[in-house]
Chains A and B, each alone.
Chain A
Amino acid sequence: MHELGIMIEVVKQVEEAARENQAEKVEKIVLQIGEIASVIPHYVEAVFPAAVYNTMLEDTILEIEIIPANGRCLKCGKVFSLVTQNGICTCGSEDFEELTGREFILKEIQIS
């Protein structure tokens, strides 16, 4: 569980962006998290209040968009969900190239 330290870093980056844009308030931040990223959305939400404590994000709404983990089968070329199919293509092959799913992105901030 390393989400708190990571979210503290996110808060710093948001504050910096907010300052650069002369914001008075950060209304909302949108994060994109891959299905197999090293952070778990549920925990990100749980630690968010602690990470924003005493910062300009104290009243900010957190929104998380999940990016599906997809892989391309190296045998038949089909793109499939790594999570629902447990890394096994419908053709039976377990060799794939990871396309998406490890993202952890600060997508946008909404300021006023």
Chain B
Amino acid sequence: MSAIRVIEIKKGIYEQNDKKAEEIRKELKSKGLFLLNLMSSPGSGKTTTLVSTINQLKGEMEIGIIEADIDSDVDARTIDKTGVKVIQLHTGGMCHLDAEMTRQGIEALDVEGLDFMVLENIGNLVCPAGFDTGATKNAMIISIPEGHDKPLKYPAMFKVVDVVLVNKIDAMEYFDFDLDLFTAYVHKINPEIQIIPISAKNAQGMEPWFDWIREQVAQQKA
């Protein structure tokens, strides 16, 4: 029997993922395609927000959606009705997306000619924050019933996002959600984050969000 050799690797396990993510980001830039990673807890209104965003923007840009779910296609069916390109990824129990899954989604969707693509991540505020998907920017949706203390409970998520949509503001009077306090908590973690209060259901306050997307799409082509 041959002697045992010790090979020192000392490599972060996520390095491989980070490398893949960086490659995806470069490729998207060269294609002029803006990819947004959209994260939230379950039930915060991700799909409703997405549908209303698609309906507003589909006349001015080509849109594609990558839906990720543990094991269903209900969201993809809802998106499909808007007429934009959509693909459903099944993560098979995984609670987050990584760069490899983004790559599979991009290949399956046929992204030629697209301007704006959304990766709808698994509804979860913990795991998706830890894995770079290769998206150009990260956004999250929080809804009024979830409470304003979410930044204190899930700080990692607020470290990685560029924009936060505060959804269901039409339900504000029924819950003790303090928007000023929420804003202060968020900005203590990351002062760069843009906070946009909306009601996706009533199409209220959505204009700054649409403008943010338009700006990102233009920047990606610059």
Contacts and interface: CB of A to CB of B under 8 A. Distances in A.
Interface of A: 1-2, 4-6, 9-10, 13, 17, 21, 23-24, 27, 31, 38, 103-112
Interface in B39-77: none
Contacts of B222: none
25 contacts: A2-B94, A2-B95, A2-B96, A4-B93, A5-B91, A5-B93, A5-B98, A9-B13, A9-B16, A9-B17, A13-B11, A17-B7, A27-B4, A38-B127, A104-B13, A105-B10, A105-B13, A106-B9, A107-B8, A107-B10, A108-B7, A109-B6, A110-B7, A112-B1, A112-B3
B91 to A, nearest CB: 8
9 residue pairs, one from A and one from B, having the closest CB atoms: A38-B130, A5-B94, A106-B9, A112-B4, A2-B95, A108-B8, A104-B13, A109-B7, A112-B2
Would you call the interface of chain A mostly helix, strand, loop, or mixed?
mixed
B143 to A, nearest CB: 24
Nearest to A20: B7
A2 B14 CA distance: 13
A13 B16 contact: yes
B81 interface: no
Interface string B1-34: 1111111111111101100000000000000000
A108 B6 CA distance: 7
Interface of B: 1-14, 16-17, 91, 93-96, 98, 126-127, 130
B16 to A, nearest CB: 6
Contacts of A23: 5
Q: Of residues A6, A23, A103, A112, which shows the largest number of chain B Cβ atoms within 10 Å of its Cβ?
A: A6
B7 A1 contact: no
A17 B9 contact: yes
A64 B145 CA distance: 40
A50 to B, nearest CB: 12
A106 B11 contact: yes
A109 B13 CA distance: 13
Nearest to A10: B13
Contacts of A27: 4
B7 A13 contact: no
